[in-house]
Structure 1
């Protein structure tokens, strides 16, 4: 786990103001100089004024994708360590986050210690356990929907057409929490 950071700058981007306040306070207590934003525009404005050393970015920012922030933050400072934190974890978005330059990807709920460990992780863990059970049908459906949604740049209508389902049905499925593995 990461030791206390003496004033290292950290940008916390999450549309949940309460979560932002609680996690920001916990990270401040561990020595970070925390700046918070609740949407992409505010996050970019803060980062342009003072590029952060670390960033924690929520995947779903009130309809916007936190993934779009990754290349923009890295363009400002190529060594910014970015962790994507989400309540809507999927394999497709995890792969995209890493391909875009995030150093890690965490599913909520995650506490400050887990976030710090994700920020500090330098390399993968070859001893990570491999799940021997196949994914459930519900999880496979969730993963497929997420992949098609990503392929359609988040467009719900286009995704529903491609999946052959009614738009409202897709919206209901997306509003639910992801199915466990």
Structure 2
């Protein structure tokens, strides 16, 4: 794990670990930030790429949590790429409510150390910072996937592909727009 402490002088107090949270949901970002502050991190918040770039250049964080889907033209993957280019040693964890193998692979290729599906808590994220190397002893699950889970994964995938355009996603999924809207309302997808 990357250490941002002082130069090793025992009399010098260790600096807090500096974490950048790139998340456009203000309430979630503040809650996550407070949780990390209680664990001794100094936290910076950015809602998108432009703000994250400015904070990264000014402060040089060693850790980052990046939401994959950001409002506007910001992309979590673009944020990961910018962070990794700024500091290849930075530990970057990507969070998403729309997990897919394709985006996970791209996030890792661009420099993320881990990729977590929401909901993930502070424990999950901190464990992801600590677990950077691959693990060949990881237990392979033999759990079958339900039809409902497969349906939600496909809906999320198509929503992401269509930039969350409900009408276009419904057309690609072969369902009525109102049917898709009801499914989304039931699940309260972010």
Give per-residue Cα distances to partners, 1:139-179, cap 9 Å, x unaligned: 223333444455x473636555444445565555556357x
Distance 1:168 1:44 in 2: 39
The question of whether the paired residues in 2 share the 8 Å contact of 1:14 and 1:61 is answered with yes
The verdict on how the C-alpha distance between 1:116 and 1:155 changes in structure 2, with shifts beyond 3 A counting, is closer
Over aligned residue pairs, what C-alpha RMSD do you find? 3.1
The answer to which of 16-25 and 139-148 deviates more is 139-148
Unpaired stretches in structure 2, ≥5 consecutive residues: 6-14
Distance 1:147 1:100 in 2: 20
Q: Who is 2:12 aligned against?
A: none
Unpaired stretches in structure 1, ≥5 consecutive residues: none
Larger RCO, structures 1/2 (Cα 8 Å, 6+ apart): 1
Distance 1:148 1:112 in 2: 29
Q: Who is 2:21 aligned against?
A: 12
Bigger CA radius of gyration: 2
Q: TM-score, with normalisation over the residues of structure 1?
A: 0.76
Answering whether residue 129 of structure 2 is matched by residue 113 of structure 1, we say no
Cα offset, 1:82, TM superposition: 0.6
The verdict on how the C-alpha distance between 1:78 and 1:92 changes in structure 2, with shifts beyond 3 A counting, is same
Q: Who is 1:28 aligned against?
A: 37
Distance 2:145 2:102 in 1: 14
Q: TM-score, with normalisation over the residues of structure 2?
A: 0.73
Answering whether residue 57 of structure 2 is matched by residue 51 of structure 1, we say no
The question of whether the paired residues in 1 share the 8 Å contact of 2:68 and 2:95 is answered with yes
Cα offset, 1:84, TM superposition: 0.9
Distance 1:160 1:20 in 2: 30
Which aligned pairs between 1:12-161 and structure 2 lie closer than 5 A?
Answer: 12-62=21-71, 64-149=74-159, 152=161, 154=163, 156=165, 159-161=169-171
Number of aligned residue pairs: give it: 177
Q: What secondary structure, in the 3-state scheme, does the structure 2 residue paired with 1:61 have?
A: coil
